[in-house]
Chains A and B, each alone.
Chain A
Amino acid sequence: MNLTESIKSAIMNVLANKMRSLLTMLGIIIGISSVIMITSVGNGFKKSVSDTFSQMGVEGIKLDIKDDKEIKDSDYFTDSDISFLKQIPDVKYVAPCVMNTCNVNLRTLGNTKMCVVLGSNDELKYASSIKVTSGRFLLSKDVTNHSSVAVIDSLLSRKIFGRENSVGEKIKAKFKNTNLDLTVVGIFESEDVGIASFGMPSYIYVPYTTLLDVSSSQNLDMIRITAYDKNKLDSLATQLVRLLEIRHNTSDKYYAQNSVQTMDTINNTLNMITTFIVFVAAISLLVGGIGVMNIMLVTVTERTREIGIRKSLGATDNNIKFQFLVEAVIITVIGGIIGIIVGYGGGIVIGNIVNIMPSFSINSVIITVLISSAIGIIFGVYPAGKAAKLDPIEALRYE
């Protein structure tokens, strides 16, 4: 008896008892679908996080001041810190960051919009993943000359000027105390950063020197660093924090956020959740497998006479064993496939609610089919063996 005949007859038997087969599969369906659901949403989340980070410049270090500490004036980062950091051998790029807000007239709508103004230098281009689509980014001469130039995102350009390319146009930026006429020198691509894009404000990049001129303080809010060797990010981060503390004659005021590290932390948490769910699902699969075994045992008893007839016609013990094994595997594999569909469906529903695009992979489908076949074999072996061992005469006599 060959495989096709066995599979045909197994499918026939599974379909002959649709309701029972479905109930038997339930444990498998629940187990598989919960794993698929959690992992697809989890992987989608991971992907979205990593996309966000790569757009923000994954290989960087962010030097910042701790919010929860009492900060003296002398603790703030200054212009001279920038030149100091640039001299450190492992440091490739140093980009300061000064943040402010301003209001901008929207020419098309006639009203104003609040924008975040980021003061930085030319090196920010390398310390983040800004993509300039027309014009240019800030240059070092803009910084030294305190030039009134701006690089704005294409969406903002559309809002202000009604078109994406507004290089050469002027923006009237109203700050708290003063106004500034900024000449647009470059447009950068609006970032579609997945979950992070929700409620994102519009950004205007200007030379930090220019921004400090219109600000009340001369403090830098944050410094971004890019290293030559991204494997050294961890040690470099601690080293930089220490050096800055010595320079400012202070302690425990700064922290370095290594973006790779942050992503690791998020991933670790996610992996922990995933492991837990997989563990729960494994228990569900175990229970499901026992359910399959239970029903297979009932089936073998019910079909004792059929087994006797088949044996009387020349079926060997192995033929019978194989037949029941294939039936168990068909049940668990169909259960697994339904589980995949339900799981992905659930993933899409949950993904819609939490605004994550769930990630699907053909690998997970293959692995699921393999796992459900394995469950069918593991829990089908005993009932199938029992069927195979039946004595033909006794089986034929069974009513």
Chain B
Amino acid sequence: MIIKAQNITKIYKNGDIEVKALDNINFCVAEKEFVAIMGTSGSGKSTLMNILGCLDVLTSGNYFLDGQDVSKLKSNQLALIRNKKIGFVFQSFNLLPKMTAFQNVELPMIYANVEAAQRKKIAMDALTKVGLEKRIDHKPNEMSGGQRQRVAIARALVNSPAIIFADEPTGNLDSRSSEEIIKIFQDLNAEGKTIVMVTHESDIAQHTKRIIVFKDGRIMSDAPVENQLMVGENS
């Protein structure tokens, strides 16, 4: 199991007001799965992704990532896990605006102390994989949304993470770019990468292998996709 979530609960406290964003969540994700997480706005999808991505800590429960209990780790240990085991793709891309595509992709490897020559090779491979080998010296504001998201995916891949989390990766993209992104995810999944992706759109969710639906911080349903749509087949 890559992910094993046991009774995960997350409560936000703002003064006297408490918001139970996640309420006793239990589920597992095995290797090579491609999971879509759906649900209405405010149902707790992002909260879950942040906790699974080790960006946030849970209020109670246990979370095992790749066999390791990460629920009680300190911030520096979490940073190490984020660096080595997790690739994160955000809705808003989250690229550093002053850096080129290449420099953005290189960054996780700098924190992992990979030496420069190897960094260059891996970054070039990752950018080639997402079809941006001709855009390496472009800054984010010189690229389209779809290209930016592809840079972000390349960046998520360079440290060979155990799992990739994507929070509405196509939320800011038109349907054409969305399709490109989904295609990349499907290719990565076919190569054996484990992916968990939040999405609002059910036809995008149909491109994954399993759909978990959230409501008010709980799991409403969790079912495999009967006929996974493959990009390029239907259109």
Binding site for B on A (CB under 8 A): 1-2, 5, 12-13, 16, 305-306, 308-319, 392-393, 396
Contact = CB atoms under 8 A, between A and B. Distances in A.
3 closest cross-chain pairs (CB), A and B:
A314-B83, A316-B79, A313-B108
B98 A312 contact: no
Contacts of B79: 311, 314-317, 319
Contacts of A309: 94-96
Contact of B107 (A310, A317, A396): A310
A314 B111 contact: yes
A82 B82 CA distance: 93
17 contacts: A1-B113, A2-B113, A310-B96, A310-B107, A311-B55, A311-B79, A313-B83, A313-B88, A314-B79, A314-B83, A314-B111, A314-B159, A315-B79, A316-B111, A317-B75, A319-B79, A393-B55
B85 to A, nearest CB: 9
Nearest to A6: B110
A317 B110 CA distance: 15
A57 B88 CA distance: 80
A316 B111 CA distance: 8
A313 B201 CA distance: 27
A257 B113 CA distance: 69
A305 B97 CA distance: 11
Contact of A316 (B53, B80, B110): B80
B148 interface: no
Contact of A317 (B76, B94, B111): B76
Nearest to B51: A393
Contacts of A5: 110
Contact of A313 (B50, B76, B98, B155): B155
A396 B152 CA distance: 15
B56 interface: yes
B112 interface: yes
B84 interface: yes
Interface in B64-89: 75-76, 79-80, 82-84, 88
Nearest to B98: A16
B111 A313 contact: yes
A16 B96 CA distance: 13
B94 A393 contact: no
A393 B110 CA distance: 21
Given A310-B107, A312-B82, A314-B111, A393 B76 contact: no
A4 to B, nearest CB: 9
A208 to B, nearest CB: 81
A314 B98 contact: no
B94 A396 contact: yes
A331 B67 CA distance: 45
A389 to B, nearest CB: 9
A313 to B, nearest CB: 5
A392 B88 CA distance: 13
Contacts of B94: 305, 308-309, 312, 396
Contact of A319 (B50, B90, B111, B159): B111
Given A16-B98, A314-B84, A316-B76, A393 B108 contact: no
Interface string B12-56: 000000000000000000000000000000000000001001011
Contacts of B107: 310, 313
B111 A1 contact: yes
Contacts of A318: 76
A317 B75 CA distance: 8
A314 B155 contact: no
A315 B76 CA distance: 8
A392 B53 CA distance: 11
Given A311-B79, A316-B111, 12 more contacts: A16-B98, A310-B107, A311-B55, A311-B82, A312-B88, A312-B94, A313-B83, A314-B80, A314-B84, A315-B83, A316-B79, A393-B55
B109 to A, nearest CB: 10
B111 A315 contact: yes
Interface in B97-152: 98, 107-108, 110-113
Nearest to A392: B55
A315 B79 CA distance: 6
A16 B98 CA distance: 9
A305 B55 CA distance: 14
Nearest to B111: A314
A2 B75 CA distance: 20
Contacts of B88: 312-313
Residue in A12, A16, A318, A392 with the greatest tally of chain B CB atoms within 10 Å: A392
A2 B111 CA distance: 8
Given A392-B55, A396-B55, A314 B76 contact: no
A308 B55 CA distance: 10
A319 B112 CA distance: 11
Nearest to B81: A314
Give the one of B82, B112, B159 with max A CB within 10 A. B82
A314 B56 contact: no
Contacts of A308: 94
